[in-house]
Structures are given as structure tokens and as C-alpha cells.
Structure 1
Amino acid sequence: MKEKPLVSIVVPCYNAAKYLAACVNSVVAQDYGNWECILINDGSRDETLEILIEFAAQNPKLKVFTQENAGLSSTRNRGIESAAGDLLFFLDSDDVLSTDALHILVSAYENNDIVSGITVNSTFTDHKITKVSHLLHPKEGDVTFINDDFEVLIRTMESGLSPVAQNRLYRKEFLDKNNLRFRPGILHEDELWFFETMLVAQNVKFVNKETYFYRIDNQGSITQNVSDRNLDSYIKVMEEIVQKYARNPRFGTVAAWYAVYIKKIFLDFAIREESKLSSGIFERLESALKESYVSLDGKNLLSFNNSVYYRTLNTLSLQPFPIIKKYFFKNPVNSLRKIKRVLQIRQLQK
């Protein structure tokens, strides 16, 4: 690897005219100079393309592509294919980098496949960034996972790590060697991307420094607009993990457990957003849970309390949604009330 490797920053842009100046200016302001920025207009209906062309005319390191609307996954994939860099970084068009983001991440690169900084949930007013909270990061702060035994995925199941694609520096050779690309046509594609990249990565470094400001006040974000497609996409992520990995001897055990982790996420979502979803999607949910069921018999990957929880949730997932809703709870099993709930769910099997 070069002493100062080229970093390819991929920025998918869809109807982002309102936010582009702040995003692109944060790239241009980086104190690490060896970068290119691939800006892809994904069929925007506002002034996005015009703004991108204007920026690119001022800086040759800004490279503009345009296409018919294809969605976030396909746009990121085009960015990967177009990248000339040794390292790859995904930036959303409504977010902003700290001035030293690339310098921090590249300095920590060494021989890691992936390097992550801290993402700050933020609001933006009058060119001022207000920090609200942090996305989940390892409690150790600075830590490198060798990841020979799927330590990153296990840590995620135990205590949570944010399953996002952005604010991570990826070794391009690692992505190409493992044919890692985003699945087109779904929402919440980062859930699957996180699983697939962390499943095969070696030496994953987390850096205890803020490098990325994630805009939480964008009303156009998918996190602000709920529909059946959200739940269907979560289900498709689970189905792919089961079909492609849980039945593969190399990955079977951790993939089976992680599929239950995804069940926890989307069952919590379905219960919370039930009033916004159709009866048809709940029929799809019940069918998919039965067809994608994989037993967790055998080795415990997690702590005792979390192992009990995941096995219990896996059992509960075979029930009709009203029963799931009645008995569902979040891990870990750390109270008498939750122990009682575990026993009640076990009785459902009989």
C-alpha cells in the first residue's frame, strides 16, 4: 500500500440540491489531499445535476456521473466500479465530514480491511452543526478486531454496533476479492452490507474520533417515511442471510444467529409501526419467518443471557404475529419479568 493511498469517496445524489453544498465543501476541505470524489446523480428531479457540474468545474478531483434513477444500492455499486482509489469511502449527500476525517482514517489504516470512525447524529441550522448523539461504537473506543471468529458480528449481537456503510474506509482489493456489492432494489441495504463485509473482513479497526456528521433532520430520509417496503426489505435481508450463509458450512452457525438478530430488529419495527403497515405485509412476515427458520441447536456464540434470549426469540418467531406482538421483548434476559416471558414462550411450543 502506498504511503498516501488514493481514497475514492462515493457520494450517491438523489434530489439533494438542498444539502449538496455542505456535503461537497466538507470533502474539498479535507486536510488529507490524495482523494477523488465520485458524485453520482441518480435521476434527480431537482437542481442536483446542475449543482454537481458547477462544483466539478471548480475542482478536477470532483468527478460527476449521471444516470436514470436506479436506487441507492445500484448507485453505490456504480461508484465502486468507477473508483480508481486504493481505499473506498461512502458519504451520503446530506451528510458532512469533519475536516480531518480522511487523515484520521487513513492514518489508522495499516493492514486493516475496514476502518471506522465515530458517526455523530446531528442537526444543521444556519451553517452550524449541533451534535445530538453518537451511533453505536465499541465501548473500548480504539480497538482492532482480528475477526477470525466473527468477533464484530458477535459484538453486534451482544451489545450493538451501528450497521451502516458510510463513515468506513474499505480496502478496495478486499471488496473486489470477495465480490462485495450492495443488493439492489431494497431499503435498509446497509443491514445486509454490514453483515456481509464484517463476515469476511480481517482486521477491522474502530477509531475513537468523530469523523462524520449524520443529518437527522432530513424529512426526505427513508427513516422518516415508513411503508410496507421497509418491512419487506428487512425480511429480504433475513432471507438472504439464511439462504446464502446459514446453510453454508463455513458460516452456518454465526449466520443462523445473526438471522435472529435481524428478526429482532424488524419485529421491533413491525410492532412499533404496525398502524402504518398493511395486513398483506404481515402475512408475508409470518410466511417468511416460518420458511426461513433455522434451529440454533448446538454451540452458544453469545453470553448466557443473550443466548437464552436469541433462542427464545427464534422459537417465538414461529407463532402468528399477534402472539409475537404479545410476548416480544428486547434482550437481554436480565429481570424476573423477562424470565417469566421466556417460560411463557417456551410453553407455546407444547
Structure 2
Amino acid sequence: MENELISVVVPVYNVEKNIRKCLDSLINQTYKNIEIIVVDDGTPDLSGKIAEQYAEQDARIKVLHKENGGLSDARNKGIDLAQGTYITFIDSDDFVSSDYVEYLYTLVKKYNVKMASSFYQMIVSEDEVMIDKNGQEYLLTPQEAIEKMLYRNEISHNAWGKLYHRELFEQKPTLKFNGIFEDERYKQFNPIQKEQYRFPVGIINEDLALVYYLALECPQIVQGTRKTYYYFSNPTSITKSKVKEADFTIFALYKALSEVILQKYPDLSDAILEFKGTIYVKLYKRLVLKQRNDFNEVQKYMKDEIKLMTKGLIGKKVRKPTKIRLFSAAFSKRLFIILCNFENLLGAKS
């Protein structure tokens, strides 16, 4: 196997309780030729200092301290600093299996592709980690990969858990956006900076705003089904997270993204409907459980949109759980709340 340098970009902000676990999982990778780029995004806690301590012990770790600019800005700084032929992103409160890098690198070399994805596992405690040494490998067209992401079927739309050839961030984009991002409603989601792909800064759901486009730029994508990425999940956190005005930008982001995808693959209209339903239900769920009266107009708009969606579900390839959530949200708020609370208890993905 070739021994190309691989860059691991780790944005850091307020993770002093978890960063050691993350860095330990990286310095102990079976694939040794890596550089670990820790981007301290102006964290007020000890995360940056902890990273410096690790850098003193391992020359592969580089620490950049910067003013707070958000996750996208931190990732972009990491991309700019990366020297590797390939780049992967790890969130600093997550960790990976010891062969995470080797597994993804083996996939991209075996199938000669620019993007590979592995499975992930949501955990509440480390006791739940499953060591996964078996799995299948699938070579996908961009359309097949996009469809899987839209249905949340084996490939996530998160930036982490994947390996990207650096050319994806250096080449001039070939996608035809047809002026979508010149529209004032969508400018903030533009994934292109200086004719290169980067994470849009200053938005939430930044992964959505880039990963799909990177996949569309690839002739083929390989998917490995081994679980190599682990992230901690609090199933009840949705009842505690504060709803902000910025959360509602997801509607415009969805419209921009769906336009780009459907321009290239009109056959994915059902998958787009699944994606839209998931987005609307997820945010409606937060509003309802938080009982936010200051967003009554938005809540009414969302309920009306969800009702319209239910009228168009007949004969559509939309997952049964999504249909149940949509119909309960549209016609029985009480049932919807019961369903949401039940899902939270089970730790179900929304």
C-alpha cells in the first residue's frame, strides 16, 4: 500500500472533557503517515492548551489558535493548512476506531475514487462502542450516493466519517449552479470561495451546504459499511436546545440544495421530498417541545407546509417513519408530541 500523507482536521471549541479521547484515538491510528491539524476556534476553556500538550509529545500534531469564527471557518482554515493528499474531518467531541484512516484510505485506493465513506455509531457512553471488523463495500454513482444521503440510508451527509481527495477542494467546481447563489435568499449558502469549494461561513447545517456538492463532483464514491466513527449523542438534548432565528435558514438551504440536485438528477424528486419532510419535522419538533410562542407564525407556516406535503405523499417513495411523523405533525399535535417523546426515550434519529 502507498504511504501518502493524510490530513486530519479537528476543529476545537469548548471540548476539554472530550478532546483527550479524540486525540488519543488519532495518535494511535494504524495508518501512521498522518498530520493532525487542530484548529482552536477561540475556545474559552482549556481545549487549546490540552491540544498543545499533545503536540509537544507528537510531532504530527499542529495546533492553530484563531479568533472564534465558527465550525465552517475552523474547517476551512484546516483545509488551507493541510499538506496531505487526502483530508478527513473529525469533530473534537467524537472519536474514531484505531483503523479509521487506514480503512478509508484502503477504500479510495482500491476503487480509485476521490471520496470514501464509512459507517458511524451513536453512543451515550463508551461502553456501547462496538468493534466492527466486518463490512461490505459498494461502488456508487453520484446519483446513488446522493439518494442514500437524502434518505439517510447508510451514508450520512455529515462532513466527518469520510475521506476526500484534496483535489475536491482545489479544483475549479464543474457543477452548474445557474445563478442560484446570486439570489439574495441563497447567497450565504454559496459553497465556493475563490473558485474553490469551502464550507460556507456563518451558517448552521454547514455540512449540508458542502458535502452534497463534493459528492456531485465525483465520478464514483465508495461506501464501506464498517462502523469506524463514534459520536456521543444525548437523546433528550432536543428538549434543552434553544431554538434560534438562524435555525430557520434551513428552509432556504434546502431550496438551494434541492434545485442543484434536481437540475442534475430529476429522478431524485421523491428523495428530495423525504429530505424536506425530515428537515421540517425535525425543526417543528423542537418548536413544539420547547413550546415557543415567539415563533407562532413560523410554526403555523411549517404546519401548513407539512399539511401540503402529506397531500403529495401518495405513491411517493418516502420512508414510513417520515410519513408517520408528517401526518401526526399535520393533524394531531398531541399525537406528534407523544411520538417525539417516545423517540427521545429510544434515542431515535430525528
Give the TM-score of the pair, scaled to structure 1: 0.72
* Letter matched to residue 176 of structure 1: E
Q: How does 1:69-80 map to 2 (within 5 A)?
A: 69-80=68-79
- Partner SS for 2:251: helix
- Unaligned 5+ segments in structure 1 are 135-139, 296-302, 330-350
Name the structure 2 match of 1:306: 317
Say whether the 8 Å CA contact 2:274–2:318 is kept in structure 1.
no
Say whether the 8 Å CA contact 2:89–2:161 is kept in structure 1.
yes
Deviation at 1:156, TM superposition (A): 3.6
Change (3 A) 1:214 1:191: same
- Cα deviations by residue, 1:163-214 (Å, 9 ceiling, x for unpaired): 2111111111123223332222222222333322223322211223221221
1:200 aligns with 2:200: no
Name the structure 2 match of 1:153: 146
Which among 276, 279, 283 is matched to residue 270 of structure 1? 283
Percent identity over the alignment? Answer: 25
- Partner SS for 1:108: helix
Q: How does 1:154-173 map to 2 (within 5 A)?
A: 154-158=147-151, 160-161=153-154, 162-173=156-167
Name the structure 2 match of 1:46: 45
Q: How many residues matched?
A: 299
- Partner SS for 2:284: helix
Say whether the 8 Å CA contact 1:228–1:278 is kept in structure 2.
no
Change (3 A) 1:100 1:250: closer
Say whether the 8 Å CA contact 1:19–1:94 is kept in structure 2.
yes
Name the structure 2 match of 1:238: 254
Deviation at 1:24, TM superposition (A): 0.8
Deviation at 1:75, TM superposition (A): 0.9
Say whether the 8 Å CA contact 1:141–1:206 is kept in structure 2.
no
Deviation at 1:64, TM superposition (A): 0.5
Name the structure 2 match of 1:131: 128
Say whether the 8 Å CA contact 1:117–1:168 is kept in structure 2.
yes
* Letter matched to residue 72 of structure 1: L
Change (3 A) 1:47 1:147: same
Say whether the 8 Å CA contact 1:115–1:204 is kept in structure 2.
yes
Deviation at 1:283, TM superposition (A): 3.6
Name the structure 2 match of 1:113: 114
* Letter matched to residue 276 of structure 1: K
Structure 1 distance, partners of 2:76, 2:302, is: 28
Name the structure 2 match of 1:298: none
User: Which 10-residue stretch deviates more, 100-109 or 29-38?
Assistant: 100-109
Change (3 A) 1:275 1:108: closer
Say whether the 8 Å CA contact 2:129–2:230 is kept in structure 1.
no
* Letter matched to residue 153 of structure 1: I
Say whether the 8 Å CA contact 1:14–1:43 is kept in structure 2.
yes
Say whether the 8 Å CA contact 1:188–1:233 is kept in structure 2.
no
Change (3 A) 1:201 1:28: same
Name the structure 1 match of 2:241: 225
Give the TM-score of the pair, scaled to structure 2: 0.72
Say whether the 8 Å CA contact 1:231–1:281 is kept in structure 2.
no
Deviation at 1:287, TM superposition (A): 6.6
Q: CA RMSD in A?
A: 3.9
Deviation at 1:233, TM superposition (A): 3.8
Change (3 A) 1:251 1:325: farther
Structure 1 distance, partners of 2:235, 2:20, is: 15
Structure 2 distance, partners of 1:130, 1:89, is: 26
Name the structure 2 match of 1:191: 208
Structure 2 distance, partners of 1:276, 1:211, is: 34
Say whether the 8 Å CA contact 2:146–2:215 is kept in structure 1.
yes
Structure 2 distance, partners of 1:74, 1:223, is: 28
Structure 1 distance, partners of 2:158, 2:170, is: 19
Structure 2 distance, partners of 1:52, 1:14, is: 11
Change (3 A) 1:240 1:278: farther
User: Which 10-residue stretch deviates more, 63-72 or 172-181?
Assistant: 172-181
Say whether the 8 Å CA contact 1:39–1:65 is kept in structure 2.
yes
User: Which 10-residue stretch deviates more, 60-69 or 275-284?
Assistant: 275-284
Which among 169, 176, 180 is matched to residue 175 of structure 1? 169
Structure 2 distance, partners of 1:62, 1:199, is: 32
Structure 2 distance, partners of 1:223, 1:180, is: 35
1:56 aligns with 2:79: no
